[in-house]
Amino acid sequence: MYKVVIGLEVHCELETKAKNFSSAPNTFSQIPNENVAPVDLGLPGILPVPNKEACRKALLTAQALNCTNPDEVLFDRKNYFYADLPKGYQITQVTKPMGINGYLDIMVDGKIKRVDIHQLHLEEDTASLEHHPKYSLIDYNRSGIPLIEIVTEPCIESADEAVTFLEDLRDVFLYLGVSEAKSNYGQMRCDVNISLMEEGSDKLGTKVEMKNINAFNNVRAAIEYEIKRQSELLERGEKIVQETRRIAEDGKTYSMREKVDAVDYKYFVEPNIPPVSLSKEYLDELRSTLPELKLSRYLKYTQLGISSEDSATLSKERSISDYFEEVLSYGSDVELSVNFVITAILSTLNKLEISLNDLFITPKMLSGVVDLVSKGDISLDHGKKILYKAIDEKMDPVELIEKEGLHQINDEGELLKLITEIMDENGEIVRQYVEDGNMSAINFFIGQTMKRSNRQANPNKSKEIIISELERRKNNAGK
Partner 1 sequence: MYRGKSILELRESLDNGNVTSEELFGSANKLAHYFQEDYNSFVTIIDKCKVKRSNSLISGIPYALKDNFSTTGILTTGSSNILKDYVPVYDATVYKKLKRAGGVLVGKTVLDELAMGGTGTTGHTGIVRNPWDKERQIGGSSAGSAASVALGIVPFSIGSDTGDSVRKPASFGGIVGFKPTYGLISRYGMFAFASSLDHVATLTRNVRDAAIVTDILKGQDPKDMVTLKDDGKKYVDTLDNDIKGRKLFYIKEICDLDLYKDSGDSELIEVLEKFHELLDKCREMGFVVEEVSVDKDLFNAIYPTYMCISCAEATSNNANLTGIQFGPRGEGNSIEEIMFDARTKGFSELIKRRFILGSYILQKENQEKLFLNACRVRHMIVDKITELFKEYDGMILPASGGIAPKFDEKDEKLSDRYLLLENHLAIGNFGGFPSITLPFAFVSDMPVGINITGGVKCDDIVLNMAERIEELTGYKDIYAKVGDIDV
Partner 2 sequence: MIEKEKLRDYAHKLMFDMNDSEYETLQEEFDIILKQMNLIEKIPNISDVSPMTFPFPNNDVSLREDEIGDYLTVSEVLENAKHQVNDQVRVPKVVDEDV
Residues that bind partner 1 (CB under 8 A): 38, 41-50, 77, 79, 81-83, 86-89, 136, 138, 140, 264, 266-268, 271-274
- Minimum gap (Å) between residue 22 Cβ and partner 2: 7
Pairwise CA distance, residues 68 & 58, whole Å: 12
Pairwise CA distance, residues 96 & 69, whole Å: 9
> Which residue, 98 or 196, has its beta carbon nearer to partner 2?
98
Angle at 405 between CA 400 and CA 406, to 5 degrees: 70
Taking a C-beta distance cutoff of 8 angstroms, is the pair 383, 369 a contact?
A: yes
Q: Residues for the chain: how many in total? A: 479
End-to-end CA distance of the chain: 85
Query: Binding string, 239-278, against partner 2, x = CB under 8 A?
Result: -----x-x---------xx-----x-----x-x--xxxx-
Output the DSSP codes for 441-452: HHHHHHHHHHHH
Max intra-chain CA distance, the chain: 109
Helical axes 363-374 vs 397-404, angle rounded to 10°: 60
Taking a C-beta distance cutoff of 8 angstroms, is the pair 123, 149 a contact?
A: yes
> Which residue, 120 or 391, has its beta carbon nearer to partner 2?
120
> Which residue, 9 or 317, has its beta carbon nearer to partner 2?
9
Pairwise CA distance, residues 352 & 358, whole Å: 10
Residue type, 227: I
Strand (E) or helix (H) holding 373: helix 363-374
> Which residue, 94 or 416, has its beta carbon nearer to partner 1?
94
176 binds partner 2, rule: CB under 8 A:
no
Which 194-233 positions form the footprint of partner 2 (CB under 8 A)? 211-212
- Minimum gap (Å) between residue 349 Cβ and partner 2: 30
439 binds partner 2, rule: CB under 8 A:
no
**Residue 47 binding partner per list partner 1, partner 2, none, with a CB distance cut-off of 5 to 8 Å that depends on partner kind:** partner 1
- Minimum gap (Å) between residue 323 Cβ and partner 2: 28
**Residue 459 binding partner per list partner 2, partner 1, none, with a CB distance cut-off of 5 to 8 Å that depends on partner kind:** none
Q: How many residues bind partner 2 (CB under 8 A)?
A: 54
304 binds partner 2, rule: CB under 8 A:
no
Pairwise CA distance, residues 372 & 410, whole Å: 13
- Minimum gap (Å) between residue 39 Cβ and partner 2: 9
- Minimum gap (Å) between residue 69 Cβ and partner 2: 15
For residue 299, what are the CA distances in angstroms to 24, 174, 241? 42, 19, 43
Query: Binding string, 34-73, against partner 2, x = CB under 8 A?
Result: xxxxx-xx-------xxxxxxx-----------------x
Binding site for partner 2 (CB under 8 A): 16-18, 22-25, 31-38, 40-41, 49-55, 73, 80-83, 129-140, 211-212, 244, 246, 256-257, 263, 269, 271, 274-277
